[in-house]
Chains A and B, each alone.
Chain A
Amino acid sequence: MTDRPTLDQLSAELPRDIAPPADLWADIRAGLEPRDAVALPRTGMAFRTRQLIAAGLVVAVASSAITALALRNRGATQQAAEAAPSRPAAPELPVVLANAEHGYTRSVDALQRTLDERRDSLAPSTVATVERSLRVADSAIAEARAALTQDPANRALAALFASNYERKIDLMRRATELAPRT
Chain B
Amino acid sequence: MPDKHGEHDWHPTNQMATVLSLVFPNAADRPAEADALRIALAQRGDVDAFNEIYRIHAGRVYALCLRLTADTVKARELTQDVFVRAWEALPSFRGDANLTTWLHRIAVNAMLMQRRSEKRRSARITLADDDDGDERLEMLEGVAAPRDVATAIDLERAVAALPPGMRRAFVLHDVEGYSHDEIARMTGLAAGTLRAQLHRARQLLMKALSL
Taking beta carbons and an 8 Å cutoff, which residues of A are in contact with B?
A: 4-8, 10-11, 13-21, 24-25, 27-29, 31-36, 47-48, 51, 55, 58, 61-63, 96-97, 100, 155-160, 162-163, 166, 170, 174, 177
Contact = CB atoms under 8 A, between A and B. Distances in A.
Contact of A47 (B6, B91, B150, B175): B6
A43 to B, nearest CB: 19
Nearest to A34: B45
A155 B63 contact: no
A159 B156 contact: no
Interface stretch (B50-58, B120-128, B130-138): B50-58
Contacts of B152: 10, 13-15
B89 interface: no
Interface stretch (B78-86, B107-115, B161-169, B183-191): B78-86
A61 B47 CA distance: 10
Interface residues of B, number: 56
A136 B10 CA distance: 19
Interface string B60-91: 11110010000000001001100110011001
8 contacts: A11-B175, A14-B156, A14-B175, A16-B59, A20-B59, A27-B80, A28-B80, A166-B15
- Consensus secondary structure, chain B interface: helix
A159 B19 contact: yes
B63 to A, nearest CB: 4
Interface string B27-48: 0000001001100110011110
Interface in B9-34: 10, 15, 18-20, 22-24, 33
A35 B44 contact: yes
